[in-house]
Amino acid sequence: MEFLARLLHLQPQTFWMIAKVIIVFAGPLTLAALLTWVERRGSAMIQDRIGPNRALLFGRWRLLGLPQLAADGIKFFLKEDLVTADANKALFWLAPFLAFVPAMMGFAVIPFGRSLVQGGQTYHMSLLEPGNGMGMLYPLAIGSVAVYGILTAAWSSNNKWSILGGMRASAQMVSYELAMSLAVVAIFLRTGGYDPHEIIAHQAVLWNVIPQFFGFLVFFVCMFAETNRLPFDFAEGESEIVAGFHTEYGSMKFALLQLSEYVHIVTAAALIVTLYFGGWQVPFVAAPSVTLSIAAFVLKLVFFCWVFIWIRWTVPRFRFDQLMFMGWKVMLPLSLGNLMVQAFLMYRRG
């Protein structure tokens, strides 16, 4: 690292900061692009189909359909950029960014590996250093902001179906946020802090998923609602409301809306891994090396991304009143009870 920094005439700290920004920006974005492929091929395999494989690289290499990503990119950039006549033009343009930027920002706080000590300097593997005072509250807050993108997109399109989609998205949002936050509060209580680095360090012996199983269940379900993924993707609905909030969107604006969903998956998977599955901790290895810890984190991340896709193609879509019922009458009491039991146990232990 110092060698690379010297090569670029930068202080190692500055170099590491730039590198981290690139990693945190490009990592989830690349993973999200790959996820679009995994989703299409994976869903095809789950449904006994074959999936996209017609796009050829230089007219020759099929590569299991991976050139489809390049084809999609080219298509999205070259397509005509339509804005409907009665749309609110400014908001229509703003909405994809409102959806995309929060999705990207959530990952900033996640530690993706063990801290590295080199040349008397500690380098932390997360964009925001530990002790920044925001901790895990930051991704939760940012994650909720993403719904504004959907609402803006729905409202600005001036399309009945889109507005229905936006209405459903907002109905969804009010029903899961509270249960999700309470589930995370139970973890803060166990850890005695809300910094992701502390939370991960606390999970060295036992991953939070075991003592906090109900909290995990609630958080996991809420993450599906937050990413707008299939059991709870009320904002979209190809059979009822045409395509939901992005009915009027095309070309790169649509791609941004779609990509933000996949970046959200990556962020949600990272949150699940950090909060409940020990982050970069490797089971049965007390002090993993930096490379091993990063590999462990990426492996867990990829696994949970796959789980998101896997569940999407297993469970059919709920109605939004069913999610509201579940959110207020099942998940909220469950996570509240989990919090109370946790607090009681903490009190007993003294």
Binding site for another protein (CB under 8 A): 42, 44-50, 217, 310-311, 313-315
- Can you tell me the distance from the alpha carbon of 137 to that of 17, in angstroms, rounded to the nearest whole number? 22
Which residue, 115 or 322, is less far from another protein as judged by CB? Answer: 322
Report in angstroms how near the CB of residue 216 gets to another protein at its nearest. 11
Report in angstroms how near the CB of residue 83 gets to another protein at its nearest. 35
- Can you tell me the distance from the alpha carbon of 203 to that of 285, in angstroms, rounded to the nearest whole number? 12
Which residue, 52 or 166, is less far from another protein as judged by CB? Answer: 52
Which residue, 45 or 346, is less far from another protein as judged by CB? Answer: 45
Strands 121-123 and 116-118, by their bridges, are antiparallel
Q: Which residues contact 267 (CB under 8 A, 6 or more apart)?
A: 28, 103, 106, 107, 110, 139, 143
Six-digit token pair at 285? 């290895």
Which residue, 53 or 251, is less far from another protein as judged by CB? Answer: 53
Which residue, 76 or 306, is less far from another protein as judged by CB? Answer: 306
Report in angstroms how near the CB of residue 314 gets to another protein at its nearest. 5
Six-digit token pair at 119? 């040349």
Residue with tokens 């609402």: 151
The DSSP secondary structure of 83-147, one letter per residue, reads: --TTS-HHHHHHHHHHHHHHHHHGGGG---S--EEETTEEE-SSSSPTTSS-TTHHHHHHHHHHH
SS3 59: coil
Q: Which residues contact 40 (CB under 8 A, 6 or more apart)?
A: 51, 52, 65, 68
Which residue, 161 or 277, is less far from another protein as judged by CB? Answer: 277
